[in-house]
Amino acid sequence: MRAADRYLREVPGGPHTEQVRTFYEKEEEKYFLRAFERLSNLYAYAEALPNGPHIEDVRTRIAFLEGKLQARSRRDVEDDAKAAATLSKLSDADTKRRAFVGVVKDWAARLIQIRTFGEPTSELSDETIFAFRLSEPRGACQGDHCRKLLQLSYPVPGQRELVERAAVVEIQLELESGGLRRVRLAGPELWTRLAEALSLKPLPSPTPEERADAVNRAAMLMRALLEARFPAAECDAPATSPTVVLRRCHGLSAVMQAGSTPMEDDVLEIAPVAP
């Protein structure tokens, strides 16, 4: 077609004019229609036939398709940025959930491993003393009651966005005549908050069935933590509500209880068995 176009322009009235014009008009029209959706073919037309019959249509079409490509490229960049931001939020949310679950597990494990009941708190392990007294927020004692209050937050996926959740965890050391009497891990709806973080399902106002499922999920974790010090085969004992898990052996008891109302704390308590 390039050669035909050149012949018609440079050899007007030449001996092959009619034959070339017939070929040119037919093939140029076919090529233009075939090239309409492909930039590469439109570029080829504009380069080969800068004075072709459809050159204005080709230039207009090129501008339109280039604009679409640029818009798509901008959308791709925006979509990539949104995806990266979403991934970052999800990663941060996962980190916070793991941190919350880790705090509960670590403190439960510390309390379960205490072997100095009846002795001053100074006989606790160095790691437990540091975690209770020196790490922020620091624990403090008033009389025979020592407590450390942790206010934690973590997000869980909602229907359209991440939902921020909050949990209060209290570590309690109770003394008697200067000696350690019992230790407790407690918090309002603590087992529900723990199940939220584990299941990634927000439970702001759980139904009785959801609450029971959350307590059972938290109990699975507590049983696993108790096993090293209070093995089920040796220490498991019948539990009646509000007790969920009860282990007794080696002169100690480990009790997991679920508060019957949102105002009552969920509790894990370790203490010597009464004579």
Closest among 155, 183, 179, 153 to 252, alpha carbons compared? 183
Give residue 73's pLDDT: 76
Q: Where are the beta strands (DSSP E) in the chain?
A: 140-142, 145-157, 162-176, 179-188, 243-249, 252-257, 265-272
Residue from 256, 250, 184 nearest 226 by CA: 256
Asked if 155 contacts 163 with a C-beta cutoff of 8 angstroms, the reply is: yes
Q: What gap in Å lies between CA 123 and CA 241, rounded to an integer?
A: 34
Task: Please tell me the predicted confidence (pLDDT) of residue 233.
Answer: 95
* pTM as predicted: 0.68
Give the pLDDT confidence score for residue 91 in this predicted structure: 66
Q: How many CA atoms lie within 13 A of 58 on its CB side?
A: 25
Nearest to 92 by CA among 18, 155, 157: 155
Q: What is the mean pLDDT of each run of 10 residues along the chain (275 residues)?
A: 88 88 89 86 89 89 85 76 65 83 95 95 94 93 94 82 88 95 96 90 87 94 95 95 94 95 92 85
Q: Which two tokens stand for residue 150?
A: 């942790």
